[in-house]
């Protein structure tokens, strides 16, 4: 069976909306859609892996088309395969994408490479004929569990969105079966955010838990002020109070907030995550 990447295609599409979090609005938001096209056939169809980048990071068509996709097209196909030669090797492909690149994770490069990486993993799972979660579990010698934790992330700020609309949104998540919901904070005065939190907690009652996300907006003083307010409530977690690379802020904040804190989604390199 031949396994070759024959093309990498990208299109940038608008996904704009009037929502906002504490840091950005989404009025000009775009996303990249990537297809990694292989010459492999399964069930008579060409295997194509698909990927897209996260809402909030903008499309990366320029970087993908001009810098990273050509590296895969120009690479020796045999150097992109696993040891058995029967599938693509995502680690080797990642190394090819990052050839002649400086280390570190900030900037838009990580989004471009990550979107291609997602498409590569999709193709690898399809070539193997397995769900990706199962393939990853086997790769790391773990038992594959088809049940995973998920939560509903919403609670964005929106023009004209009052507490009744916020409550209705959260009720909709419960009706879909979610037992953890998340809302944005930091995009309004702290008293207003307190009222929003109380409205959601009153709506979900004992049927679900609430997490809050500041999207890295706060300095230490503001993060602590929110911590003192938030610790009055049984929250699932307090997410990304400050800049994701401000580890000192996270450590200091832990002295004021006894509940779980979450961060890390905006660390984009091995160096940052160590």
pLDDT tens per residue across span 158-203: 999 999 999 999 999 999 999 999 999 999 999 999 999 999 999 9
Per the structure block, which two tokens stand in for 19? Answer: 């929502």
Q: What pLDDT does 216 receive?
A: 96
> If you average pLDDT over residues 39-66, what whole number do you get?
94
Per the structure block, which two tokens stand in for 18? Answer: 């009037």
Q: What pLDDT does 242 receive?
A: 97
Instruction: Calculate Rg over the CA atoms of the chain.
Output: 21
The predicted-structure confidence for 198-241, as pLDDT tens digits, reads as follows 999 999 999 999 999 999 999 999 999 999 999 999 999 999 99
The predicted-structure confidence for 104-114, as pLDDT tens digits, reads as follows 776 799 999 99
Q: Residue ranges per domain, the chain?
A: 5-139, 152-273
> Under a CB-based contact definition with an 8 Å cutoff, are residues 141 and 97 in contact?
no
> If you average pLDDT over residues 67-89, what whole number do you get?
96
In the CATH hierarchy, which fold is given to the domain comprising 152-273? Answer: TIM Barrel (3.20.20)
> If you average pLDDT over residues 260-269, what whole number do you get?
90
Q: What pLDDT does 104 receive?
A: 79
Q: Hey, which CATH number is domain 5-139, 1.10.10.10, 3.40.50.300, 3.90.650.10, 3.30.390.10?
A: 3.30.390.10
Q: What pLDDT does 223 receive?
A: 98
Q: How many CB atoms lie within 10 A of CB 124?
A: 25
**Residue matched to tokens 């002649």:** 100
**pLDDT for 117 beyond 90:** yes
Beta strands in the chain (DSSP E): 5-14, 30-42, 45-52, 152-153, 180-184, 209-213, 238-239, 261-262
Give the span between the Cα atoms of 223 and 230, in whole angstroms: 10
Q: What pLDDT does 103 receive?
A: 83
Give the span between the Cα atoms of 34 and 111, in whole angstroms: 12
């Amino acid at each position: 069976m031949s396994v070759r990447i024959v093309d990498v295609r990208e299109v940038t599409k608008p996904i704009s909306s009037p929502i906002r979090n504490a840091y950005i609005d989404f009025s000009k938001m775009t996303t990249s859609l990537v297809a990694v096209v292989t010459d492999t056939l399964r069930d008579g169809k060409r295997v194509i892996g698909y990927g897209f980048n996260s809402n909030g990071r903008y499309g990366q068509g320029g970087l993908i088309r001009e810098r990273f996709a050509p590296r895969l097209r120009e690479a020796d196909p045999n150097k992109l395969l696993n040891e058995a030669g029967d599938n693509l090797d995502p680690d080797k492909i990642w190394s090819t994408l990052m050839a002649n690149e400086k280390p570190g994770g900030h900037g838009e490069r990580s989004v471009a490479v990550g979107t291609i990486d997602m498409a590569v993993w999709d193709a690898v799972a399809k070539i193997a004929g397995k769900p990706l979660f199962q393939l990853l579990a086997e790769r790391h010698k773990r038992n594959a569990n088809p049940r995973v934790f998920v939560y509903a992330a919403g609670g964005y700020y929106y023009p004209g969105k009052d507490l009744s609309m916020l409550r209705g949104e959260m009720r909709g998540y419960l009706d879909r079966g979610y037992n953890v919901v998340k809302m944005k904070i930091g995009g309004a005065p702290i008293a207003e955010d307190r009222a929003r939190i109380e409205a959601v907690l009153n709506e979900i009652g004992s049927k679900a838990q609430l997490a809050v996300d500041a999207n890295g907006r706060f300095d230490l003083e503001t993060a602590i002020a929110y911590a003192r307010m938030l610790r009055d409530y049984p929250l699932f977690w307090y997410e990304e109070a400050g800049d994701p690379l401000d580890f000192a802020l996270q450590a200091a904040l832990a002295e004021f907030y006894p509940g779980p804190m979450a961060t890390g989604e905006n660390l984009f390199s091995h160096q940052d995550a160590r």
